[in-house]
Amino acid sequence: MDEVLVVTEGKALKHVQVREYVRTLVSGAAPGSPAPSERELVHHFGVARMTVRQAMDALVVEGLLERIPGRGTFVARPRRVPSGPTSFTEEMTRRGLLPESQTLLARREQAGPGVARALGLTEGDAVIHWRRLRRADAVPMCIEDAYLNEILIPGFLQSGMPTSLYDALEDRGLRPTWAEDSIAADVATDEEAALLEIEPGGAVLRHSRRASAEERIVEVSRSVYRSDRFTMWVQLGREG
Ligand code: GLP
CA-closest candidate to residue 35, choices 78, 79, 77, 72: 72
Q: Does the C-beta of 212 come closer than 6 Å to ligand 1?
A: no
153, 166, 180: residue to mutate for ligand 1 pocket, most atoms within 8 A of CB: 166
The C-alpha atoms of residue 107 and residue 6 are separated, in whole angstroms, by 65
CA-closest candidate to residue 183, choices 146, 229, 132, 234: 234
Q: Calculate mean pLDDT across residues 199-212.
A: 96
Tell how far the Cα of 206 is from the centroid of ligand 1, in angstroms: 14
> Model confidence over 156-196: pLDDT tens digits?
999 899 999 999 999 999 999 999 999 999 999 999 999 99
The residues facing 140 across adjacent strands are 135
How crowded is residue 94: how many other Cβ atoms within 10 Å of its Cβ? 11
Q: Look at residue 12 in the predicted model and tell me its pLDDT.
A: 54
> Model confidence over 128-152: pLDDT tens digits?
999 999 999 999 999 999 999 999 9
> Model confidence over 53-103: pLDDT tens digits?
999 988 887 788 998 888 889 998 876 655 789 999 998 887 878 999 999
Phi, psi of 213, rounded to the nearest 5 degrees: -105, 110
Question: What is the pTM (predicted TM-score) of this model?
Answer: 0.70
What percentage of the chain carries pLDDT values higher than 70? 92
